[in-house]
Amino acid sequence: MQEELRFATFNTFNLAPPGARLYDNLAPTTAAEYEAKLDWTATQLDLINADVIGFQEIFSQSVLKEVLRRTRRYRDAHHIGFDPDPSAPRLTPSVALVSRLPLAEPGSQLAMFPDNVTMPHGSRDPDRFTRAPLHAGVIAASGVVIDVVVVHLKSRRPDYRSGDSGADPHLYALACLRSLIRRGTEATALRVLLTDMAHANGRPRIVLGDFNDVADSVTTEIVLGEGTPVGERMYDASQVQRRLDHQRHVGFSILHDTRHSTIDHILVSPDFNPALPQAIGEVVDVVYLNDHLNLALPEASDHGQVLARIRLFGRVGGYAADA
């Protein structure tokens, strides 16, 4: 018997309590804006109707819980998320996972880089992710356990040093380079973590997240594992979907200065690539929910949501959850 699962990634765009100051150049959200954002986010979640959703830009896990209470489909779902240090001078964003599927084990943060990955000497926080990825195993109805990792890699925002200014093009270039180095290091750390996970658990893997770069960028290809053994690789779900039509493929997840691109991705392990002999399922299709970007709704996210429908071929021995 075949089984269909739905996985989505959702950058909520500054989901935070009203009145919280998040950035120096961003006014705090008013009570009315807060209510509108929560209602829009809840409605969008019900529209997505995914079994497992990875979230980014969660400044308060309690606010996300309030969003779930306003939905029809996720009031009883499992919610995994970790708030930042409450003693920090200001809120910082984190990721979260919401699952209607049962969990194989408690979710965990993957805050630290593997031992053999580090930023260049002199970098801030050289041994950890800017935003810690989150890992949890979810159990499909067939008993297959899938390792799900939610990520939000370093943005392209220039990483200025104290006293630097974007008015100097040389300093601007160096600040952009520092951001790229961090995103590349985070991609490398994630690649190592995924490889270790494949060896330790031997389970299918799915990565949901905002990679802050397109699918064929160097940093994203590092995560995909170009050049690694097939069993350790990941695949862009949009490229291995069964219904891919290159002539009509118009998916995008961000709109910036009239340019459309996709930096939010769903990656799958070889278990969901039907071109490979070890496949236990296939990506049926990938859907981009992005109409709100063209409408420029003030309460909406500045990212489109990405949804992948995956069909399992049937129960496969060796992947079943331990009873």
Residue range 51-63: mean pLDDT, rounded: 97
Residue range 55-71: mean pLDDT, rounded: 97
Q: Where are the alpha helices (DSSP H) in 237-295?
A: 237-240, 291-295
Cα dihedral value 198, 199, 201, 206, nearest 10: 0
Residue 87 confidence (pLDDT): 67
Q: Dihedral of CA 211/212/214/216: which sign?
A: negative
CA–CA dist 93, 60 (Å, integer): 8
Please give the DSSP secondary-structure letter assigned to residue 303.
Answer: S
Q: What digits encode the pLDDT tens for the residues 149-182?
A: 999 999 988 888 877 776 788 888 998 899 999 9
Residue 277 confidence (pLDDT): 92
Q: What digits encode the pLDDT tens for the residues 184-222?
A: 999 999 999 999 999 999 999 999 999 999 999 999 999
- Residue 227 pLDDT class (50, 70, 90 cuts): confident
Burial label, 70 (beta-carbon count in 10 A; 0-12, 13-18, 19+): middle
Please give the DSSP secondary-structure letter assigned to residue 226.
Answer: T
Residue 78 confidence (pLDDT): 98
CA–CA dist 57, 292 (Å, integer): 18
For residue 320, pLDDT over 70 is answered with no
- CB-based contact 281:312 (threshold 8 Å): yes
- CB-based contact 123:182 (threshold 8 Å): yes
Q: Give the DSSP per-residue string, 72-89.
A: SS-TTSEEEE-PPPTTSS
Own/partner pairs, 111-114, CB within 8 angstroms, 24+ separation? 113/185, 113/189, 114/189, 114/192, 114/193, 114/196
Cα-based angle 243, 244, 250 (whole degrees, multiple of 5) = 125
- Residue 245 pLDDT class (50, 70, 90 cuts): low
- Residue 319 pLDDT class (50, 70, 90 cuts): very low
pTM: 0.92
Residue 175 confidence (pLDDT): 87
Residue 141 belongs to what H/E stretch? Answer: none
Q: What digits encode the pLDDT tens for the residues 80-129?
A: 999 877 666 677 899 999 999 999 999 999 999 999 999 999 898 999 99
